[in-house]
Amino acid sequence: MKLKVDYVTKLLLLLAVLALSNFAYAQRTITGTVTDAENGEPLIGANILVVGTSTGTITDFDGKYQVNVPEGATTLEFSYTGYAAQRVEIGGQTTIDVSLSAGEVLEEVVVVGYGTVKKSDLTGSVTSVKEEDFNKGVFTAPDQLIQGKVAGVQVLNNSGQPGGATTVRIRGNSSVRAGSQPLYVVDGVPLDGRAARPGVDLPGGGGTTPGANPLNFINPDDIASIEVLKDASATAIYGSRGANGVVIVTTKKGRSGDPTINFSLSTGVSSILKKYDVLTGDEYRAALAEYGLGSG
């Protein structure tokens, strides 16, 4: 009986050794270094993933890594925050060194104050919305291009009239009685706050005139980008005028190349939420004569 137990034990140990040897043979180890393509500095904590598996690792303080690649894996993916991801075919290599370049988002140029700055060097709270990210459809005011696109910014339509006033609030109301509209800057030129003319109550209770939008002289299709400056550090260059935030509008410029014609067509329909029964002209005159409406 003892001989039989010893035989079974040895057989199990042999099978375990064979399985481990096959597993070790089925995978290989890849090593290398991940650096910044611009200055050659090692990237600490860069991610290395074996594509198609959950196997991966990160680089150490020297930018070096070591990863076990299972059998059948053909590609490694290298990624790092703020850099463009890169995929490399393994082939027969055992050492793979990779240089990562800064991502396109960080290379974007953002208009800030009276100049421009790389997005990677930006410290203030600034949101940039490019033409390709604008809302699509029919708009009565350029402000609506970024409606719902910028965190902390509310854009409310006051009327459906083309060029009608819109209410823009950056991080809420900053004053109870004074104006809370932001400062608008178009191609580096600040607009007078009086351009945002509010509606005026008509005499005799006849309603309110529609306000004017400070950007109603701009064709929305001519706008290349809109930057919203939200915090004190970003708006400091404008002083007290930027207390409610700043909206910087950059229009399209001429560029070299063959002339082109772009055509687009959009249609839209809007309706009021509730219709009210109103008096006709004759009924209104009769009410004025009978009840003396508007006479106080």
Instruction: Kindly report the average pLDDT of the chain as a whole number.
Output: 76
Domain that holds residue 56: 25-100
Residue 141 has what pLDDT? 78
pLDDT above 80: residue 295 = no
* Cβ atoms 64, 32 nearer than 8 A: yes
Percent of all residues in the chain with a pLDDT value above 70, rounded to a whole number = 71
Residues 86 and 204 in one domain: no
Residues 160 and 64 in one domain: no
Residues 140 and 225 in one domain: yes
Residues 150 and 232 in one domain: yes
CA–CA gap between residue 289 and residue 178 (Å, rounded): 40
Residues 222 and 120 in one domain: yes
Indicate whether 18 belongs to any domain.
no
pLDDT above 90: residue 216 = no
Residues 31 and 135 in one domain: no
Residues 57 and 189 in one domain: no
DSSP symbols for 246-278 = EEEEEE----SSS--------------S-----
Residue 116 has what pLDDT? 63
Residues 113 and 243 in one domain: yes
Indicate whether 285 belongs to any domain.
no
Residue 108 has what pLDDT? 60
Residues 114 and 241 in one domain: yes
Last residue of a domain, which of 234, 251, 268? Answer: 251
Indicate whether 58 belongs to any domain.
yes
Residue 178 has what pLDDT? 58
Residue 98 has what pLDDT? 93
Indicate whether 93 belongs to any domain.
yes
Question: Per-residue pLDDT tens for 237-287?
Answer: 888 888 888 888 888 887 778 888 878 777 777 777 788 888 888 988 888
3-state secondary structure of 129: strand
Indicate whether 33 belongs to any domain.
yes
Residue 265 has what pLDDT? 77
Strands 189-190 and 115-118: unpaired
The total of structural domains in the chain comes to 2
Residues 245 and 153 in one domain: yes
CA–CA gap between residue 70 and residue 23 (Å, rounded): 9
| CATH label of the domain that carries residue 42 | 2.60.40.1120
Indicate whether 15 belongs to any domain.
no
Residue 25 has what pLDDT? 47
CA-only gyration radius of the chain, Å: 33
Residues 126 and 229 in one domain: yes
| CATH label of the domain that carries residue 222 | 2.170.130.10
pLDDT above 50: residue 24 = no
Residue 221 has what pLDDT? 83
Indicate whether 19 belongs to any domain.
no
Indicate whether 203 belongs to any domain.
yes
Question: Per-residue pLDDT tens for 72-97?
Answer: 888 999 998 878 889 999 888 889 99
Confidence of residue 195 (pLDDT cuts 50, 70, 90): very low
Last residue of a domain, which of 100, 117, 152? Answer: 100
Residues 154 and 135 in one domain: yes
